[in-house]
Structure 1
Amino acid sequence: MEQIAEKIGAGLSGKPFEGTLKFDCGDDGVIVLADGTASTQDQTTDCTIKITQDNLVKLLTGKLNPMTGVMMGKLKISGDMGVAMKLGKLIG
């Protein structure tokens, strides 16, 4: 998870991101985006995306479309949907 967090953090570098978001990968851990950084330290966030680590990698590499992922149940979004929508502009 640490390597994935580093790649996401590099993608966020210098780009404004309002709000906080957590990728919850269950037993594999979490990645939290807050204050322009990505970390593996769990905390309360505005939005949580429940996703497996494998599907997170696919999402970040463009092999999993976010809308398709939601419709197929491969990811579940809870909290502020607006924060999740901003994510696509940052890592896409």
Structure 2
Amino acid sequence: MSEIITAAVAALSEKLSEGFDGTAKFAIDGEGAIMVDGSGVRAADDADEADVTLSADADTFQEILSGELNPTSAFMGGRLRLDGDMGTAMRLGGLLG
């Protein structure tokens, strides 16, 4: 598992300490994936399915986690791609920033 995935799992676990109702997968280009669901946050396998998959490069993902970049702005600017349920993505975005 890459250092970026390990750090992201820790950061997301802290931000989502109250849990998350739904399933979301973050696919980080060239690094791997992270699954967020009612059980918590963990490294994911490419085959893991989710209500929504959010894809971005490592820099964009780190900016979102640090609060430098709003997830909605990242999506509107084409830096964050979505595949799946927009409602789940919006709920997750509200928790992240």
CA distance in structure 2 between the partners assigned to 1:61 and 1:19 by the alignment? 23
TM-score (norm 2): 0.83
What RMSD over aligned residues (CA atoms) do the two structures have, in Å? 1.4
> How many residue pairs are counted as aligned between the two chains?
91
Q: Which runs of 5+ in 1 are unaligned?
A: none
CA distance in structure 2 between the partners assigned to 1:28 and 1:46 by the alignment? 21
Given the alignment, which residue of 13, 20, 29 partners 1:9?
13
Given the alignment, which residue of 32, 36, 41 partners 1:33?
36
CA distance in structure 1 between the partners assigned to 2:14 and 2:53 by the alignment? 20
CA distance in structure 2 between the partners assigned to 1:91 and 1:26 by the alignment? 20
Given the alignment, which residue of 19, 24, 47 partners 1:21?
24
Equivalences for residues 1-92 of structure 1 within 5 A: 1-13=5-17, 15-42=18-45, 43-92=48-97
Q: Secondary structure at the match of 2:30?
A: helix
Change (3 A) 1:65 1:91: closer
1:72 Cα deviation after fit: 2.1
Q: Which runs of 5+ in 2 are unaligned?
A: none
CA distance in structure 2 between the partners assigned to 1:35 and 1:16 by the alignment? 6
CA distance in structure 2 between the partners assigned to 1:46 and 1:26 by the alignment? 19
What is the CA deviation profile of residues 8-40 of structure 1, one whole-angstrom value per residue up to 9, with x for unaligned ones? 012211x14211001101221111101241111
Output the amino acid matched with 1:9.
S
Identity %: 34
